[in-house]
Chain A
Amino acid sequence: MTDSPGRKLSYVQAFTEAVRLEMADDPTVICAGEDIGFFGGVFQSYAGLQTEFGVDRVVDTPISEQAIVGLGLGAAVNGMRPIVDIMFMDFMAVALDQIINQAAKIKYMFGGAATVPLTITTGGGAGMSAAAQHSQSLEALLCHIPGLKVVYPSNPLDMKGLMASCIRDDNPTVMVKHKRLLGMKAEVPEERYYTPLGEARVIRPGNDVTVVAWGKMTNDALAAADTLARDGIECEVIDPRTLQPFDIGTVVESVRRTNRAVVVHEAVRFGGLGGEIASQIQENAFDYLDAPVARLGAPFSPVPFSPDLEAAYIPSQERIVEEVRSVMARPLLGG
């Protein structure tokens, strides 16, 4: 009998387990970051790892983001497989020279001689009333840089498999954890497994409209899909899981069936990944579209501190429902 209820882990526990299993298997996997050692990280992402693997493999660093990423890069080039943590995604801005000009380009600049199996982990997203400098979704900025891989799981099962793949990947990868998903629980297998980077997942099948969303927005899109299903609108919800490289094939295949698409992200709409995805959809499925591809994102403003303003700012389930309805309601040209 294999249908006994599976073990459940939270999103953040799934992250920790992926790190723990890789560390146990491979002594070159080391971790460094602010507050990750003794304290286990401000989000408890690294809880228990210093106790298990020692202070030499799980290192509390000074508050020096640029040096944290550079340290990881140097160690990676020298044969280690480091994981470095940037507490909040916003703080990546402090380390962008090391991320954009160094980690992403070292292999290229060394003519292929250097390999950077570095994983940068960080907490992204809004909804904690953490204000403008602790709440941003900056994934588009990272995806714009050739050389980086960017991963953004929406649930515990994917988290474990994707984090394991990030650690094993020979490129610099950025693993974004959405702060509002840390406590989300789901069944997660105890054994090691690897979810391939660059493969989207159809998380809910449907024939009427394709909804592409990642991170916390995947979950909001699923809830919106439930609401819409009661009115007979069947959404196909796709979670790209990896944003760079982006699996456009799965999205295009879906849109060719549904003929309509909505891209949802928490990041600011202007210049967000939604524009890139919408553009690729129309390049690959123009003749199949019955409506323009819709994009839902945050307004062109910093993330507000006020809970009221923040709630209005972040794309909500209700706004996803509205956006899908408006795409569905659009009359066929000439129809």
Chain B
Amino acid sequence: MTRPLSDDDLRAMMTHMIGARVSSQRAFNLQRQGRAGTNAPIDGSEAIVVGAARALDPTADWVLPQYREPVALQRFGPEVLESYVRYILGDPDGGHIPEPVRVWPPQISLATQVPHAVGMAWGMKRTGETGCALVFLGDGSTSEGDFYEAANFAGVLRAPVIFVVVNNGWAISTPVASQTAAKNFAAKSHAFGFPGTTVDGTDILAVYEVVSEARERAVSGAGPTLIEAVTYRLAPHTTADDPTRYMPDDELVAARGRDPLTRFQKELSGRGLWSDDDTTRAEADADAVMEAAIQAAEADRANPIELFDHVHAIRTTRLERQRREWIDHYGEDPR
């Protein structure tokens, strides 16, 4: 029941993969320049996120990312990247992705978004919405109790949810072999009573296929699916990491030879759908989009007074008093 991909779909997927990597690398450099906070590069996971997003319906489905994925969710609207840029530049409003975009902001605490996804999916089932929730988590996050408890709930509730475990080989410095003795992460689904499958996460078409099937299961009421997408982390864990201290060089070199971007470029070139000029153009376009997002974010820096805006739905008396004290101290707009 997988929707066949048109040539336009295929070209858009390639464009989004390139855009994701360009945005991610610029975000990394911004941190190095002192213009952005800690952020986590996507390099190596582009096919998983872009492929999964293509299999979803942005008007019906929800995506709950961990922290690497926002740069690759262009299919859900330009607002995702724009908000992400504001976020890494430190603006508290960066977590606010405007309606009707169905993407949660990045989640920094590991696996905490997994129960949220099950809750959203359960809610959708309760209200009769025909959609699903897709949640990204990493190999390391599967060791958290939140993952096991939420996956168990999903099975019991037959929630329309898709768990995508991005197995990139590493949780900061911890290799998968130290994370689990299971032979793969997909096998864990058996304990929860729903299917699991392992897919080559460098093959965007394969990812698209398995997520499409999982979505079909979810929206038809058949319940959750666990997808393990295997790739390799081609960049540091975050801007605060130095993988040369622990990542074997030969592994990284071999993984670069299986770069998901190169793989899909070759595939599309073979079909006559993509050229080197297209790559150059896609990179330049992505860079321009990112530059515009950065300029917009930098032109509207956070005001210290905003600190008190979203602590509660309505500012309490104490917050109101503190806000007034800050205005007395810093002025209405000390930026």
- A residues sitting closer than 8 Å to B (CB atoms) are 34-35, 38-39, 42, 60-67, 90-91, 94, 128-131, 133-134, 270, 299-302, 304-310, 312-313
* Also in contact, A62 and B180, with CB within 8 A (given A34-B174, A129-B37, A305-B87): yes
B143 interfacial by beta-carbon distance below 8 Å: yes
Tell whether, in the assembled complex, residue A64 and residue B246 are in contact, meaning their CB atoms are under 8 Å apart: no
Q: How far is the CA of A131 from the CA of B106 in the complex (A)?
A: 12
Q: Are A39 and B246 in contact (CB under 8 A)?
A: yes
* Bound-complex Cα distance A221 to B180 (A): 46
**Cβ of A39 and Cβ of B143 under 8 Å apart?**
no
Q: How far is the CA of A11 from the CA of B318 in the complex (A)?
A: 37
Please give the distance in Å from A99's CB to the nearest CB on chain B. Answer: 14
List B contacts of A134 (CB < 8 A): 108
A301 to chain B, nearest CB (A): 5
Q: Is the CB of A64 within 8 A of B173?
A: no
Q: List the B side residues contacting A299 at CB < 8 Å.
A: 307-308, 322, 326
The answer to the question of B228 belonging to the interface, with a C-beta cut-off of 8 Å to chain A, is no
Report the bound CA distance from A37 to B243 in whole Å.
14
Among B37, B173, B179, B322, point to the contact of A62 (Cβ < 8 A): B179
Contact A35 B174 (CB under 8 A): yes
**Contact string, B138-155, partner A, CB cutoff 8 A, digits 1/0?**
001101111000000000
Give bound CA distance, A270 to B92, whole Å: 22
Q: A39-B245, A131-B108, A300-B318 are in contact. Are A63 and B90 (CB under 8 A)?
A: no
Smallest CB separation, A133 vs chain B (Å)? 5
Query: In the complex the two chains form, is B108's CB within 8 Å of A63's CB?
Result: no
Question: Are A304 and B87 also in contact (CB < 8 A) when A63-B171, A134-B108, A309-B302 are?
Answer: no
B307, A63: Cβ atoms closer than 8 Å: no
* A contact face: mostly helix, strand, loop, or mixed: loop
Pull 13 A–B residue pairs with CB atoms less than 8 Å apart, ordered by A.
Answer: A34-B172, A62-B174, A63-B144, A64-B145, A65-B144, A129-B38, A131-B38, A133-B108, A300-B308, A301-B307, A301-B311, A301-B319, A308-B302
Contact residues on B (Cβ < 8 Å of other chain), bracket: 35 or more
- B 266-314 contacts with A by CB, 8 A: 301-302, 304, 306-308, 311
Contact with A along B100-122 (1 / 0, CB 8 A): 00000000111100000000000
Given contacts A38-B173, A129-B38, A309-B304, contact A66 B143 (CB under 8 A): no
- A129 cross-chain contacts in B, Cβ below 8 A: 37-38, 90
Q: How far is the CA of A313 from the CA of B322 in the complex (A)?
A: 12
| A11→B240 CA distance, assembly (Å) | 19
The reply to whether the CB of B61 lies closer than 8 angstroms to some CB of chain A is no
Q: Which residues of A contact B37 (CB under 8 A)?
A: 129-131, 305-307
A42 touches B179 (CB 8 A): no
Q: Is B46 an interface residue (CB 8 A)?
A: no
**Shortest Cβ distance from residue A11 to the other chain B in the assembled complex, whole angstroms:** 18
Contact yes or no, B172 A35, CB < 8 A: yes
Question: Bound state CA distance, A63 and B146, in angstroms?
Answer: 11
Partner of B143, one of A63, A128, A305, A313: A63
Question: Please, how many angstroms separate the alpha-carbon atoms of A128 and B38 in the complex?
Answer: 9
Which residues of chain A have C-beta atoms less than 8 A from B301's C-beta?
A: 306, 308
Residues B1-51 near A (CB distance < 8 A): 37-38
18 further interface pairs, Cβ-Cβ under 8 Å (given A42-B172, A306-B302, A313-B304): A35-B174, A42-B240, A63-B179, A66-B145, A67-B145, A91-B109, A128-B38, A129-B37, A131-B38, A131-B108, A133-B108, A270-B318, A299-B308, A302-B311, A305-B90, A306-B91, A308-B301, A308-B335
Contacts of A302 in B (CB 8 A): 311
Q: Which residue of B lies closest to A307 (CB)?
A: B90
Return chain B residues, CB-CB under 8 Å to A64. Answer: 143-145
What separation, in Å, do the CA atoms of A64 and B326 have in the docked complex?
40
- Is A300 a contact of B91 with CB atoms below 8 Å? no
Known A-B contacts A309-B307, A312-B307, A313-B307; the reply to A94 vs B108 at CB < 8 A is: no
Give the docked Cα–Cα distance between A299 and B180 (Å). 42
B87: nearest chain-A partner, CB-CB: A305
What residues of chain A lie closer than 8 Å to B144, measured between beta carbons?
63-65, 94
Considering the chains assembled together, what is the distance between the CA atoms of A65 and B109 in angstroms?
Answer: 12
In this complex, what residue of A is CB-closest to B179? A62
Chain B min CB distance to A321 (Å): 14
Contact between A39 and B173 (Cβ–Cβ < 8 Å)? yes
How far is A312 from B335 in the complex, measured between Cα atoms in Å? 12
| Separation of A42 and B241 alpha carbons in the complex (Å) | 8
Residues of chain B within 8 A (CB-CB) of A60 are 173-174, 178
